[in-house]
Amino acid sequence: MKKLIIGAILSITFLFANNNALVDKANEAYDLGDFDTAAKLYEEAGNDPYATHMRGLMLLWGIGPLSTDIEKDMEKAIELFEISVNGGNSEAMVDLGALYDEGSSLIEANHTKAKKLYEKAIATNGHVYAYHNLAMMYSEGRGVEQNDKKALELLEKAAEKGYLPSQREVGDMYKNGIGTQKDEAKALKWYEKAAEQGDAFAQNDVGLMYHYGLGTKIDYKKAMYWYEKAAEQRSSRAIFNIGLLYEKGLGVDKDLDKAIDYYKKACQTGYQKACDVANSF
């Protein structure tokens, strides 16, 4: 979880830069890979919430000027995150929450602190990652009483904000009736949203829904469309499913040679079921 969230924040962090001239210059230096200069300028910006958060991230990721003591760098990163949190920076709230949520050899897990930080980020600006991570705590019963209904409620908040992993999770929950009544039409809706963002797992799931008429009418051409999208990303199951369509002549002309070819391709990706089917011919 930690890598997913902090990595995502690092990639979009400059969208949240303020008008501080020092911070702007620091961001420019960071973009150019001049991490020592960036760290120096962020430090000169004082307790600016954004700058302190960036300093913490740089220590956490091991870029810029570091000490020779990893534990001290982690302690300093946490200290900087806390300053940023106190300054109202929701990014720091999520990052610090993720550190406490996951824990490591350098920081003891503290789910109570993680939950409070996620809730603070939600209260501050409805932070999408905070919704998702808090949902995972409820889904797994991590530091809270396990509650699938609450998890779904939070995941839908993140999904509505366009967060792909949440969209896929919500789709799974509606498809399998977790935390709610089973609703394949709603599952399809959320899978399609994730699929449209390029998620191969969701693309294959959408293909399956159209292939077997789950939550919608059977539409083999749409099934093929989404299987092919997923197959372009080397989804072994999607490649296998294309083979099924060719073997049965569903939405395409029946072509056993093509079917076997797809089964073999899926087998080459390590999908054992495809190997078994390919070897049966």
**DSSP per-residue letters across 52-115:** HHHHHHHHHHT-SS--S-HHHHHHHHHHHHHHHHHTT-HHHHHHHHHHHHH--SSS---HHHHH
Which of 141, 96, 136, 102 lies closest to 116 in space, CA to CA? Answer: 96
pLDDT at 17: 46
Residue 13 to residue 27: CA distance in whole angstroms: 10
Contact 50, 84 (CB under 8 A): yes
Token pair belonging to 232: 């372009």
**CATH, domain range 2-197:** 1.25.40.10
Residue type, 61: W
The CA dihedral of 77, 83, 84, 88, to the nearest 10 degrees, is: 150
Q: Is the pLDDT of residue 212 over 50?
A: yes
Contact 152, 178 (CB under 8 A): yes
pLDDT at 14: 45
Residue 241 to residue 208: CA distance in whole angstroms: 8
pLDDT mean across residues, the chain:
92
CA distances, 234 to each of 203, 210, 254 (Å): 12, 20, 23
Contact 84, 16 (CB under 8 A): no
Average pLDDT of 243-271? 98
Contact 214, 188 (CB under 8 A): yes
* pLDDT 10s digits, 24-50: 999 999 999 999 999 999 999 998 999
pTM for this prediction? 0.88
* pLDDT 10s digits, 66-86: 767 888 888 999 999 999 999
Q: Is the pLDDT of residue 10 over 50?
A: no
Q: What residue ranges do the domains of the chain occupy?
A: 2-197
Give 277 or 69, the one with higher predicted confidence: 277
* pLDDT 10s digits, 171-194: 999 999 999 999 999 999 999 999
